[in-house]
Amino acid sequence: MTIDHAGGPVRKRGRRAHRPDPGDGPVAGFAHALLLLKEAAGDPSYDRMRSEFGAVASKSALAAAARGLQLPSWETTWEFVRPLAVTVLGGDEDRIRREWRDRWSAAGRDGRAPGGAPKHGWLLVAAVVAVVVAGAVFAVSRPRSGGGEPSLPIEGDASSLVADVTYPDGSRVRVNERFVKTWRLRNAGTVAWHGRFLQRQPPLDGLDVCHTDPRVPLPDAGPGADVTVSVPVQARGTPGPCQVFWKMVDSGGRLYLPQASGIYFQVEATG
């Protein structure tokens, strides 16, 4: 039995998933890079990516992203990348997001040069992805330095989601509709919460994202206490899904619970 980077067993599968050929074009090359990342993280199952590492995309969406038949949405791409590159391999979240957003955008461009000749610049992107993945694997073998990192890991600090008080995931809203999303959170650790906030994670703007304040205050809470926190939202300006992720920070923006995936809301804007 093989052990992956997260310390769990990797099942031996009877059938290997179809591997897209990078020579088939930018979309196939992008899917191939996703599979390289998945293998670098120990090749966890899609179920495990969701249940243990916090991916919020469906199992079928994650699998489709790696087939290379069509380019996945950025939301699905990030839910494929984040649990592996950040949660398992320990990469810097902001850097990883920027790099993969650039690769996703490049894969979505026309794959042919003027005159019909295929472009091959995306092959360089695939090579860079392989180098980055290899570097991430190497980084796991070394202790990460806390010097200058924007995080506040505290022994005994923990949180849990108790309930979606309003607008549970999958709720439908109108395009540009204003609503208030509310969660109930629990201080599940032994450390009191004082002066904490929920800070929105990028992307922050655009027609295809919901609009919110970048930061909202979190009520103080002792160990074991529940609090409610609300976020005013304006739905995206075009029909489609919208997911917004939040992490707990102090007044200076330093992360509490840096290894946690945070919380999110997910709604569907309709025309």
| 185 close to 229: Cβ distance less than 8 angstroms | yes
* Nearest alpha-carbon partner for 96 in 226, 248, 247, 202: 202
H-run or E-run covering 215: strand 215-218
Residue type, 119: K
Residue with tokens 């979240």: 93
pLDDT in tens, 53-109: 888 778 888 999 999 899 998 888 988 998 898 888 888 888 888 889 888 988 887
Q: Is 217 exposed, middle or buried (0-12, 13-18, 19+ CB in 10 A)?
A: exposed
* Nearest alpha-carbon partner for 171 in 114, 103, 243, 113: 243
- Of the two residues 10 and 238, the one the predictor is more confident about is 238
pLDDT in tens, 216-228: 999 999 999 999 9
Distance CA 175, CA 268 (A): 9
Which of 10-24, 166-180, 199-213, 229-243 is the least confident region? Answer: 10-24
Whether a cis peptide bond, with omega within 30° of 0, leads into 203 is: yes
**Alpha helical stretches, state H, 52-160:** 59-65, 74-81, 93-108, 121-140
One of 1.10.150.120, 2.60.40.10, 3.30.420.40, 3.30.70.580 is the CATH number of 151-270, namely 2.60.40.10
pLDDT in tens, 102-148: 889 888 874 433 333 333 333 333 343 433 333 333 222 222 333 33
pTM: 0.49
* Nearest alpha-carbon partner for 33 in 159, 125, 108, 165: 125
Distance CA 83, CA 90 (A): 9
35-39 contacts: CB < 8 A, separation 24 or more? Answer: 35/66, 36/129, 36/130, 36/133, 37/80, 37/81, 37/84, 37/85, 37/129, 37/133, 37/136, 38/66, 38/80, 38/84
Domain with CATH 2.60.40.10 in the chain: 151-270
pLDDT of amino acid 271: 83
Q: Is 269 exposed, middle or buried (0-12, 13-18, 19+ CB in 10 A)?
A: buried
Which residues, 6 or more positions from 203, have their beta carbon under 8 angstroms from its beta carbon? 74, 101, 209
